[in-house]
């Protein structure tokens, strides 16, 4: 794909996100909030689905079958309890003017400064490598879209991505740490990103399932005929044990509440605790919909691209590119 086209499209999308964030901040200053509704709140919580949801889920499904479901099943099972658990956390943070997971845990244990510092340190150690993975995923996507090999250097795209994130954070994220002042620009941009992510994944999944194959039945029949793929149809997958399933469920339940980004959008940025009533079913519905086509894309990639040296994590880009549908890969 033409590099200039990819760069232009990327700049256009970034401009859209910056524009949306700016509009939200201006409306907030005029007391005409764009995020004071439960649908934006629920979509912002879908920040849980990062680049891993796009690439990693498909890659995991291609090698371990249904085990990827555990990462999304945990939050879905926990969601009905949010009215009791998350609502209480929101109230505590609002009353005590807490703005982070470190503040919250510290406050629950006698406002221990050492405990707060420990939690902050753990968050930094966990978040920094994860952010690096997200940046690497974006940079690798750029390399693949522009026709480079998967082993090509990603320094340039990675630096650009990191710089853009830094500018966005400075403009909309760290101007204030007051508990009473929310970052509505960030929230609306995240909500829009979640919606775009969902629509793009559905388009890709529909293309693979109904464009490259004759529907779900045809795709799964072809996959079932391949011995190496047969084991991926079961919940035990490629050797996934019950203990691994339980671990995934417990970790994902904790992650949807305790990851710094989740705590920020679900607790700190909450405008009205009653928005939880809709988020309790909208968020699990989002997780269900975005995962409908994970297995079809994984199987489609293995059937169409197997043995051609493609990393399963890149099937979402490789499939449309290999079949001449570059516009879909660009989305």
Long-range contacts of 5-10 (CB under 8 A, 24+ apart): 5/330, 6/142, 6/145, 6/146, 6/330, 9/330, 10/142
In angstroms and rounded to an integer, the radius of gyration of the C-alpha atoms of the chain is 21
Cβ atoms within 10 Å, residue 163: 10
Confidence of residue 237 (pLDDT cuts 50, 70, 90): low
Of 232, 262, 259, 235, which is closest to residue 246 (Cα–Cα)? 235
Confidence of residue 267 (pLDDT cuts 50, 70, 90): very high
Cα separation, 26 vs 69, in Å, equals 39
Q: How far apart are the first and last CA of the chain?
A: 13
For the residues 203-207, what does the mean pLDDT come to?
A: 94
pLDDT at 266 over 80: yes
Of 71, 107, 100, 74, which is closest to residue 265 (Cα–Cα)? 100
**What is the reported pLDDT for 149?**
55
Cα separation, 243 vs 89, in Å, equals 30
| Cβ atoms of 222 and 303 closer than 8 Å | yes
**What is the reported pLDDT for 173?**
58
For the residues 94-99, what does the mean pLDDT come to?
A: 89
Angle between helices 315-322 and 184-206 (to 10 degrees): 50
Place of tokens 């679900």: 266
Place of tokens 């005029």: 30
Question: What is the overall mean pLDDT for the chain?
Answer: 85
**Most distant pair of Cα atoms in the chain: their distance:** 62
pLDDT tens per residue across span 5-50: 888 888 888 888 888 888 888 887 778 888 889 999 999 999 998 8
Residue spans per domain, the chain: 3-97+183-330
Cα separation, 250 vs 64, in Å, equals 19
CA distances from 134 to 207, 256, 277, 317 (A): 25, 18, 31, 16
pLDDT tens per residue across span 123-182: 888 888 888 888 887 788 888 887 765 555 566 777 777 777 777 666 665 555 554 567
pLDDT tens per residue across span 249-264: 999 999 998 888 999 9
Of 145, 80, 84, which is closest to residue 329 (Cα–Cα)? 145
pLDDT at 331 over 80: no
**What is the reported pLDDT for 154?**
62
């Amino acid at each position: 794909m033409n590099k200039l086209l990819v760069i232009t499209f990327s700049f256009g999308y970034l401009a859209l996100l910056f524009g949306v964030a700016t509009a939200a901040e201006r409306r907030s200053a005029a007391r005409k909030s764009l995020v004071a509704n439960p649908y934006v709140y629920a979509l912002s919580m879908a920040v849980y689905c990062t680049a891993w949801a796009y690439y990693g889920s498909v890659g995991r499904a291609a090698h371990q079958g249904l085990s990827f479901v555990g990462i999304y099943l945990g939050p879905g099972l926990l969601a009905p309890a949010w009215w009791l658990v998350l609502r209480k956390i929101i109230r505590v943070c609002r009353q005590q003017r807490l703005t982070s997971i470190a503040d919250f845990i510290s406050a629950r244990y006698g406002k221990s400064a050492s405990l707060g510092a420990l939690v902050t340190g753990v968050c930094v150690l966990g978040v920094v490598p994860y952010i690096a993975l997200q940046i690497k995923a974006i940079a690798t996507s750029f390399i693949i879209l522009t026709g480079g090999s998967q082993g090509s250097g990603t320094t340039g795209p990675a630096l650009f991505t990191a710089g853009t994130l830094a500018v966005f954070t400075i403009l909309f994220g760290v101007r204030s740490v007051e508990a009473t002042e929310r970052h509505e620009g960030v929230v609306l941009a995240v909500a829009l990103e979640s919606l775009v992510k969902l629509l793009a994944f559905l388009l890709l999944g529909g293309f693979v399932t109904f464009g490259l194959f004759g529907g779900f039945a045809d795709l799964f029949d072809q996959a079932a005929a391949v011995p190496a793929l047969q084991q991926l149809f079961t919940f035990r997958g490629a050797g996934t044990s019950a203990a691994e399933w339980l671990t995934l469920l417990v970790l994902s339940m904790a992650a949807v509440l305790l990851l710094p980004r989740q705590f920020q959008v679900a607790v700190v940025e909450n405008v009205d605790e009653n928005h939880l009533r809709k988020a309790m079913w909208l968020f699990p519905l989002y997780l269900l919909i975005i995962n409908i086509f994970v297995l079809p894309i994984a199987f489609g990639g293995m059937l169409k691209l197997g043995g051609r040296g493609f990393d399963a994590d890149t099937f979402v880009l490789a499939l449309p590119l290999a079949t001449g549908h570059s516009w879909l890969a660009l989305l």
